[in-house]
Chains A and B, each alone.
Chain A
């Protein structure tokens, strides 16, 4: 393991994050605050409680998950696509590094950034709603696994993408709808039966449900299933990473 190199990549990525602090921090926090105002205060005042939780509090886990997932993907995919685009990727290829070390550096930094943002939103939400966390340890486990797995997923997208359109394609066409329909702002039980069934095919439902369980002890699906889902997704991403590592797919000609 070239630990020095992993640290160099990680630090370099984090430095870029702090250099563009406004974009990387303030915008997700601002949009989260807007959600609180619109959904929590305006609409929430007309919805009493969902599953025994005030609506403002109810949306907090979903909001964190939504932000963390999209941030992890966009940070990781951009983080590795940018060097490919400007040509500095060749320096990585010529360094005494293997692919795994590149992944740890880039995906690790992206996971860290998205976790930071997730925590900031959690802190922000304390200003808007009355919040208690029932299972803090489970919350941390879900948060970390989500950040890591979606950073890996974003990294894979960044390796695969041949242009900026492709870089945006999967987050836009697949992730955003899945996340919005994943129960961030509602309980699956509020849907008509047909849509409840369809929702069971949306993997994001399991993640948000599990994360919400960690907060309030209530869930749409059993917590074991949620853990299984996030575990399976992480494993799938690691599988693809291993495949790229073995074959050099989209890496070396």
Chain B
């Protein structure tokens, strides 16, 4: 897949000198769904705002389908749709007029068919003549998405689209993103919900304190770091790992009441059967056995803390 969005050494310092983006480089492929995962204040919104022309980059370059966002801003921006984090809509405007306005703003001629299609896709067609202020929060968010899609963008930015949104709407939104992927639209979404990245992204970028810590294929990331752990809870307390079990990669937990075995879910043999046999042979009796899969959240926490340690 060709690169549609290329970010090179992007820096952004706000007035007052705070550096919200520190040398960010990232290539995004056409048609993919990439999730930028980071805690509040990581710089996700700043990154998106800078790409979309809301804030000025301090240094570095961004190109969209080869067009620089500064020198070729018209071509670059007309390919981008942005769903902002904060709901901002003209309260007295009708839904359909608001969507039409967005399309016009992006220089596209009025085409009622396109607007109708977008509104239907977002389940807003019935509400097309309602004033924005009559809508619920979730509906307003749909209007924001409709506005962002009105000019048929090739890249869609969704800045925390499901923050404060109920489960149903969240699932709906994931469905919309899937459908857009089928149409070839590239989606960049930011989130601090791990499940969201896990559920819909092809790739995941982890961002913290204005730096991209890692970008990786989600499945590979899960495979690489998504180790599974087997916890063998014992009836007796151990002071150390018995010599008979020294061949395994074991640690003691719960004050010696638990043996923790890390294994790779993707490998042919997990070694669980042999381990359990050897545990029994060593004369240890089991109380319970639990397995635990590390989620993206664990991965994220590990990455951020590793980074923090290196900085100190």
- A contact residues vs B (CB 8 Å cutoff): 2, 4-5, 7-9, 11-12, 15-16, 19, 83, 86-88, 90-97, 248, 252-253
Contact = CB atoms under 8 A, between A and B. Distances in A.
A5 B103 CA distance: 8
B97 A5 contact: no
Contact of A88 (B76, B80, B89, B106): B89
A2 B75 CA distance: 11
B105 A8 contact: yes
B298 interface: no
Interface string B103-124: 1111111000000000000000
Contact of A9 (B49, B76, B105): B105
A93 B53 contact: yes
Question: Do most interface residues of chain A lie in helix, strand or loop, or is the interface mixed?
Answer: helix
Contacts of B78: 96
B108 A12 contact: no
Contacts of A88: 88-90
26 contacts: A2-B74, A2-B107, A4-B108, A4-B109, A7-B104, A8-B100, A8-B104, A8-B105, A9-B105, A83-B90, A86-B89, A87-B84, A87-B86, A87-B88, A88-B88, A90-B54, A90-B88, A91-B102, A91-B105, A92-B105, A94-B52, A94-B54, A94-B82, A95-B105, A96-B73, A96-B107
B125 interface: no
Contacts of A96: 73-78, 106-107
A46 to B, nearest CB: 46
Contacts of B106: 5, 95-96
Contacts of B88: 86-88, 90-91
A86 B75 CA distance: 27
Contacts of B109: 4
Nearest 9 interchain pairs by C-beta: A8-B104, A87-B88, A96-B74, A96-B77, A94-B52, A95-B105, A96-B78, A2-B107, A93-B54
Interface of B: 14-15, 49, 52-56, 73-78, 80, 82, 84, 86, 88-92, 97, 100-109, 147
Contact of B55 (A2, A8, A19, A252): A252
Contacts of A19: 92
A5 B107 contact: yes
A8 B56 contact: no
Contacts, number: 75
Nearest to A82: B90
A97 B105 contact: yes
Nearest to B12: A253
B53 A253 contact: no
Contacts of B89: 86, 88
Contacts of B77: 94-96
A12 B86 contact: no
A91 B109 CA distance: 18
A159 to B, nearest CB: 16
Contacts of A5: 104-107
Contacts of B82: 91, 94
A246 to B, nearest CB: 13
Nearest to B106: A95
Contact of B53 (A9, A11, A16, A94): A94
A90 B90 contact: no
A2 B108 CA distance: 9
A180 B100 CA distance: 42
A252 B75 CA distance: 19
A218 B14 CA distance: 56
A178 B110 CA distance: 44
A231 B80 CA distance: 41
Contacts of B14: 253
B83 to A, nearest CB: 11
